[in-house]
Structure 1
Amino acid sequence: MEYQVNYINPELKLSCYEGKLFRTEAAFQDHLLVWLISGETKIIQADESFVFGAGTTFLIPRNQLATIVNYPKDGLPHKAVAMHLSTKRLKEFYENQPVRSEIKTEKIIRFHRHPLLESCLNSLIPYFEIQNDFPENIASLKINEAITILRTIETNIDAVLNNFEEPGKIDLKTFMEKNFMFNMPLQKFGYLTGRSLTTFKRDFQKTFHTTPQRWLTKKRLEQAHYELAEKNKKPVEFYYEIGFENLSHFSFAFKKQYGFAPTKLLNNYTE
C-alpha cells in the first residue's frame, strides 16, 4: 500500500507514504502540528515556499491556503506524526492560562529541535498500534502536553494558538489574484473571504464579469504560459503548483486555450 494512515483518534495520526509524491491542497480548519520522521515536505503558499526535512517539526496555522507535497527521500518513505490543535481544545486550554503574546502571524512556524517536543511526539508512536478504544483522557493529556511545550519553547505562540477569529469580509479581487493557484472548493474560497457561497459567486461575477471556474482556469493557464516561456520550466515541474490535478488535464486545457501543446514553447526556446 502506497499511502497508509493510522489514527489514535481524529486529532492524532501517523501517516506513511511510499509513492513518488503525494500532493494535497490545504486550508485546515485546525492548526496542524507536524513532526516529520522521514522523507521531505514542500509547502507552497502564495508568497513563499518551505521545504522541511526529516526530524523537522512545524506548525501550519488554520485557514492558510497552501499546496502540500510529500516525498519519500533517501530510500525512506514519507512518514509523519500530525496533531490537530482544534479551536475547542485550545479554548479549553486557555480558559485558565494567561496569554503572553499578541504578536500575530499567519506564517508557517518551524520549531528548533528541542528534546521536550521530540520526546512528546515520539511517545505517541506506540499508541498508533491501538486501533480502537483509545482513552480520550490520554489523547487530551498528550495534546495539552504538546501545547504546553510549544508555549515553553516559542514565546510568541500564544498569539497564534489563542487567536479564535473567523475570516472577515475582505477584498475579493486582491485575494483571488493572490491565491488563484490553490485548487479549493468555491465554498472554501467564500469562507476565507468572509462570504457565503452564494455571496461569493455574486461578488465574483460583479468583480471579474465571468464565473469563478472560467476565471480560475484562465489565470492558471496564463501562469503556465509564463512558467514555460519565461522560465523555461517543464510542465511536470509546475502543473501541480498552479492548481491542476494531473499532467494530462493540464496539457489538454493548455492546448484548448492556446491552440498548441505546452511543449511547443519549450521547443521554440531551445531552437
Structure 2
Amino acid sequence: MEFETKYITPDIKLSEFKGKGFKTEVIFEHHILVWFISGETKIIQADATYTFHSGDIFLIPRNQLTTVINYPKDGAPHKAVAMHLTKERLKDFYARHKAVGRIVSQPKVYRFSKHPLLESCLASLIPYFDLGENLPPDIAAIKIEEAISILRSIDKSVDGLLADFEEPGKINLSDFMERHFMFNMTMDRFGYLTGRSLATFRRDFKKTYHTTPQKWLTEKRLQLAHYEMSEKKRKPIDVYFEVGFENLSHFSSAFKNYFGYPPNSLFNK
C-alpha cells in the first residue's frame, strides 16, 4: 500500500506515503499542527512557499488555500503526525485561558523546527499508533491542550491565529483572486473565502472582470505557466499542477489553444 493513515482519535493521525510523490490542493477546516518524521513536504500558499524536512514541526492555518506536495526522501517514506486544533477545542481552551495581546489573525504557516517540547508531546503519541489502540478521550484532550500550551509558550503571537474564531467576511474580490487564481478550487469555495454566496460571487466577478470566472482563471493560469517556463526554464511537468491544472494533458491542450503552440516548443527556441 502506497498511502496509509492511522487514527488514534478523529483529530490525531499518523500518515505514511511510500509512492514517488503526492500532490493535493486543500482548504483545511481546522488549524493543523504537523510533526514531520521523514520525507519532504512543500507547502504553497498565495504569499509564500515553504519546504519541510525530517524533524520539522509546523502549524498550518485554517481557511487558507494551500497546495501540499509530499515526497519520500533518502530512502524513507513520507511520514508525519498531524493534530487538528478544532474550533470547538480552541474555544474551550480560550474560555479558560486569556489570549495574549490583541487578536489579529496572521494567516501564515508557523514553523517550530525540531522544538524539544513539541517533539516530545507529539512523539508520545507514537506508541498508540504502534499498538493500534485508540487514545482515550480524556488523554486526547490533555495531549491537545498540552500542544496548544506549548505553542503559546514558544510564540506569543500564535494567539492571534488560534483565538480568532471569525469566518471569512466579504472582502475585495479582485485582491483575493489576483493572489489565489492558481489554486484549483470550486467556484463555491472561491465564493466562501471571499464572503459571498455562489450567485453573488459570479455576479461580482462579472462586474469586476467582464468575463466568467472559468475563462479568467484559465487564462491567468496559462499566463503564469508561460512565464515560469519561458523565464525560469521550468518544465511543463513541474509547472502544470502548481498553476492550477489537474493533469498534464489538459494543461498542454489548453496552452496550445491559447498561445497557438505547445508548451514544449518554448524549449526549442
- Class of the TM-score when normalised by the shorter of the 2 chains: over 0.9
Residue 150 (structure 2) aligns with: 149
Distance 1:249 1:131 in 2: 42
**In 2, Cα distance between the equivalents of 1:259 and 1:112?**
46
- Corresponding residue pairs, total: 268
Hey, what's the Cα distance between the residues in 2 that align with 1:253 and 1:210? 18
For residues 130 and 213 of structure 2, the distance between their equivalents in structure 1, rounded to whole angstroms, comes to 44
Q: Paired residue for 2:197?
A: 196
Q: Could you tell me how far 1:192 is from its partner in structure 2? A: 0.9
Distance in structure 2 (CA, Å) of the matches to 1:23 and 1:112: 23
Q: Where does residue 236 of structure 2 map in the other structure?
A: 235
Partner of 2:62 in structure 1?
62
Q: Percent identity at matched positions?
A: 60
Match of 1:34 in 2: 34
- Structure 2 distance, partners of 1:86, 1:8, is 16
Task: Report the more deviating stretch, 68-77 or 43-52.
Answer: 43-52
The answer on whether the counterparts of 1:33 and 1:84 sit within 8 Å (CA) in structure 2 is yes
Asked if the contact 1:61/1:106 (under 8 Å) is kept, the reply is yes
**Counterpart mapping for 1:147-226 below 5 A:** 147-226=148-227
Q: What SS does structure 2 have at the residue aligned with 1:160? A: helix
Structure 1 partner of 2:93 = 93
TM-align CA RMSD: 1.5
SS of equivalent to 2:70: strand
Q: Within 2, Cα distance between the matches of 1:243 and 1:49?
A: 15
Q: How far did residue 131 of structure 1 move?
A: 5.1
1:111 equivalent in structure 2: 112
Q: SS of 1:216's equivalent?
A: helix
Give 1:110 shift.
0.2
- Alpha-carbon distance change, 205 to 132 in structure 1, aligned in 2, over 3 angstroms: farther
Instruction: Report the CA distance shift for 1:202/1:130 in structure 2 as closer, same or farther (over 3 A).
Output: farther
- Give the whole-Å Cα distance in 2 for the aligned partners of 1:112 and 1:34: 10
* Structure 2 counterpart of 1:188, one-letter code: R
Residue aligned with 1:242, SS:
coil
Gaps of 5+ in 1: none
Q: Which residue of 2 aligns with 1:13?
A: 13
Structure 2: segments with no counterpart, 5+ residues: none
- Aligned residue identity for 1:181: M
Instruction: In structure 1, give the amino acid aligned to 2:85.
Output: L
Q: State yes or no: 1:52 paired with 2:68.
A: no
TM-score normalised over the length of structure 2: 0.95
Q: TM-score, normalised by structure 1?
A: 0.94
Indicate conservation of the 8 Å contact 1:36/1:55, yes or no: yes
Q: Is the 8 A contact 2:33 2:85 kept in 1?
A: yes
Q: Alignment partner of 2:143: what SS?
A: helix
Other-structure match for 2:128: 127
Residue 257 of structure 1 corresponds to which residue in structure 2?
258
